[in-house]
Amino acid sequence: MFQDRLNSFDDRDKFKIFLNEQLENNFQLNYLEYCTTNGEDTIFVDFMNENMQVYEEATDFQKLRTYLNEKLDQYNMQPKLTKMNLVLFKDAITHVAKIYRVINLKRGHAFLVGVGGSGRHSLTRLAAFIS
């Protein structure tokens, strides 16, 4: 979903309502049934399949967490790179997936806003390393 690029939660909710209406009108599908997992928005990535880059839903969240922890370990083994001691909780994993998607777009860029120590720089480093 590209709704994460919208400005406010109200806009995101309006987008979900609009998307649900379009799915019901055109395909007789329900947004909550097909686009969410346990009520949470699904995460799509293209780095889980080593053989080819296919943009697909990450259905196994634990597998995604394990994959990102392995990539973090590989990053930490690189010489001359600052070691990162990160705890990859759900929001951090979601942000890595979003940052990865944005920086892999043609002319992709992101403006990450947050307080110091929130992990913007570290998560961006990890996403760039995976890329």
Higher pLDDT, 58 or 89: 89
Domain boundaries, the chain: 1-42, 60-131
pTM score, whole prediction: 0.72
Q: What is the DSSP string of 78-130?
A: STTS--------HHHHHHHHHHHHHHTSTT--------TTSSHHHHHHHHHHH
Q: What is the pLDDT of residues 107-125, one digit of tens each?
A: 888 888 878 888 888 999 9
Residue 1 has pLDDT above 60, yes or no: no
CATH class label, 60-131: alpha beta
4 confidence band (pLDDT: 50, 70, 90): low
Question: Going along 3-103, which residue ranges are E strands?
Answer: 36-37, 40-41, 44-45, 56-57
